[in-house]
């Protein structure tokens, strides 16, 4: 069986060494030494100034929206994981969908301004598959209309744009460290803010709003993460360069074998590095996609339609809105298996199966 993804696990003895320290200290949560160390090491690696380690990317989004005091409408993308939209609704705001760009699959920055109203407070855009949005255009629009910008960088760990971390763009950026991601802490997330005051506010919010044993600074939530999760994050961090290189080689192998297949890939931002977090392919039509999915499944090879269908069309708590580009592309995008332990021979098998399905 070949799953669509599989978490990287470090050698057990490496993780156990961190566990031994946890047992000695008996400090399990509430931002213990390992959680604090993880924040410092990620900040140093990604060259960031302000960062928080939290329970998930979803909580990171919710805290970001609350900390920026957003109200009314938030412009966002219909081509993303559900948490991007549900976090907006959860915080009492209204998502306003803007269609995607057919090349990058990110929100179409050229269509954002037409969606702005007197009730718009922010833009929440996703770096889909880690591919950076048109951050310069979005920043220009946000400045013109006095809007905040949040980037959902759940897929974007390690990506650099014009030499700096993709998380250095926008007022706040978030990242997911869920086990399915190329770098993970089992469950977890990151919040990155450009402004130290905003970060401090979110730090209070992460811990129920506490500003001391008997004092509260903010309305808060339990967004803290445990020492066990931080231990996995620290253990995995030492293997990240090898993980990135392996995923790069597997991705190149895929495209070498699929070069004559008429399959396409999203166009990556020219000024950005690629973290090879996903292996999305765009089919010529949905019929061929479904045919390939079925043939792969017969061989116990599992794929995923990230992201199908359009969020603008299916959520029971929102009015359905037509997004023609998203709807057309969502039917044709399929993510193939990609993870550290995936063998080259398995990539070749996947490609052969797909090519046979397409040609028969």
Determine the average pLDDT of the residues in 292-309: 97
**Contact of 50 with 199, CB cutoff 8 Å:** yes
pLDDT band at 105, cuts 50/70/90?
A: very high
Q: What is the pLDDT of residues 50-76, one digit of tens each?
A: 999 999 999 999 999 999 999 999 999
Q: Are 311 and 322 in contact (CB under 8 A)?
A: no
Q: Mean of the pLDDT values across residues 299-304?
A: 98
Which pLDDT does position 289 carry in this prediction? 98
DSSP alpha helix (H) spans, the chain: 12-25, 33-46, 57-67, 82-90, 135-145, 196-206, 227-237, 240-257, 286-298, 311-314, 324-330, 344-359
pLDDT, residue 57, reads 98
* Rg of the Cα atoms in the chain: 21
Q: Phi, psi (5° rounding) for residue 88? A: -65, -50
- Number of CB atoms found within 10 A of residue 36's CB: 13
Give the integer Cα–Cα distance in Å for 18 and 37. 12
Entry pTM: 0.97
Residue 81 has pLDDT above 90, yes or no: yes
Residue range 148-195, pLDDT digits in tens: 999 999 999 999 999 999 999 999 999 999 999 999 999 999 999 999
Tens of pLDDT, residue by residue over 224-276, are: 999 999 999 999 999 999 999 999 999 999 999 999 898 999 999 999 999 99
pLDDT reported for residue 293: 98
The predicted pLDDT at position 36 comes to 98
> Tens digits of per-residue pLDDT, 334-360?
999 999 999 999 999 999 999 999 887
Average pLDDT over the chain reads 97
- Cβ-count burial of 128 within 10 angstroms (0-12 exposed, 13-18 middle, 19+ buried)? buried
**Closest CA relative to residue 141, chosen from 115, 175, 168, 174:** 115
Half-sphere exposure at residue 259, Cβ-oriented, CA atoms within 13 angstroms? 4
Is it the case that residue 117 has pLDDT exceeding 80?
yes
Order across the sheet with 51-54: list the strands.
51-54, 189-193, 172-176, 148-152, 120-126, 73-76, 94-97
Question: Quick one: pLDDT at residue 80?
Answer: 98
Closest CA to 153 of 128, 122, 181, 178: 128
User: Would you place residue 121 in the very low, low, confident or very high pLDDT band (cuts 50, 70, 90)?
Assistant: very high
User: Would you mind telling me the total number of residues written for the chain in this entry?
Assistant: 360
DSSP string, 43-97: HHHHT-S-EEEES-HHHHHHHHHHHTT--SEEEE-SSS-HHHHHHHHHTT-EEEE
pLDDT confidence of residue 359: 82
The pLDDT assigned to 104 comes to 98
* Residue 264: predicted pLDDT: 97
pLDDT at 40: 98
Spell 72-100 as b/e; 16+ CB within 10 A means b.
ebbbbbbbbbebbbbbbeebebebbbbbb
Q: What does the pLDDT read at residue 358?
A: 86
pLDDT at res. 260: 86
Percent of the chain with pLDDT strictly greater than 90: 98
- Residue 15 above 80 pLDDT? yes
* Domains of the chain (ranges, CATH numbers): 12-237 (3.40.640.10), 240-359 (3.90.1150.10)
Bridge partners of 193, per DSSP, are 172
User: What are the two backbone dihedrals, phi and then psi, of residue 97, each rounded to the nearest 5 degrees?
Assistant: -80, 140
Determine the pLDDT at residue 360.
77
């Amino acid at each position: 069986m070949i799953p669509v993804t599989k978490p990287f696990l470090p050698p057990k003895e490496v993780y156990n060494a961190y566990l031994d320290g946890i047992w000695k200290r008996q400090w399990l949560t509430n931002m213990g030494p390992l959680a604090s160390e993880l924040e410092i090491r990620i900040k140093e690696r990604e060259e960031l100034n302000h960062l928080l380690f939290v329970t998930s990317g979803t909580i990171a989004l919710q805290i970001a929206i609350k900390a920026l005091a957003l109200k009314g409408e938030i412009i966002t993308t219909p081509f993303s994981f559900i948490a991007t939209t549900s976090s907006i609704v959860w915080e009492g705001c209204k998502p306003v969908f803007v269609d995607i760009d057919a090349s990058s699959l990110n929100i179409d920055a050229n269509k954002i301004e037409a969606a702005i109203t007197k009730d718009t407070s922010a833009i929440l855009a996703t770096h889909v598959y880690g591919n950076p949005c048109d951050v310069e255009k979005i920043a220009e629009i946000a400045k013109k209309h006095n809007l905040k910008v949040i980037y959902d960088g759940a897929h974007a760990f390690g990506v650099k744009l014009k030499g700096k971390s993709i998380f250095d763009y926008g007022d706040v950026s978030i990242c997911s460290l869920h086990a399915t991601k190329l770098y993970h802490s089992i469950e977890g997330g990151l919040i990155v803010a450009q402004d130290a005051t905003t970060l401090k506010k979110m730090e209070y919010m992460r811990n129920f709003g506490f500003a001391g044993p008997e004092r509260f600074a903010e309305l808060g939530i339990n967004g803290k993460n445990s020492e066990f999760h931080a231990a996995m994050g620290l253990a995995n961090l030492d293997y990240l360069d090898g993980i990135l290189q392996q995923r790069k080689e597997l991705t190149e192998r895929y495209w070498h074998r699929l070069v004559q297949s008429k399959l396409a890939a999203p166009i990556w931002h020219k000024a950005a590095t690629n973290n090879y977090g996903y292996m999305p392919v765009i089919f010529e039509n949905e019929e061929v996609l479904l045919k390939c999915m079925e043939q792969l499944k017969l061989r116990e090879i599992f794929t995923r339609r990230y992201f199908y269908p359009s969020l603008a069309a299916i959520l029971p708590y929102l009015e359905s809105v037509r997004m023609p580009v998203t709807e057309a592309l969502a039917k044709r995008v399929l993510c193939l298996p990609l993870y550290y332990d995936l063998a080259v021979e398995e990539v070749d098998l996947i490609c052969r199966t797909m090519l046979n399905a397409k040609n028969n």
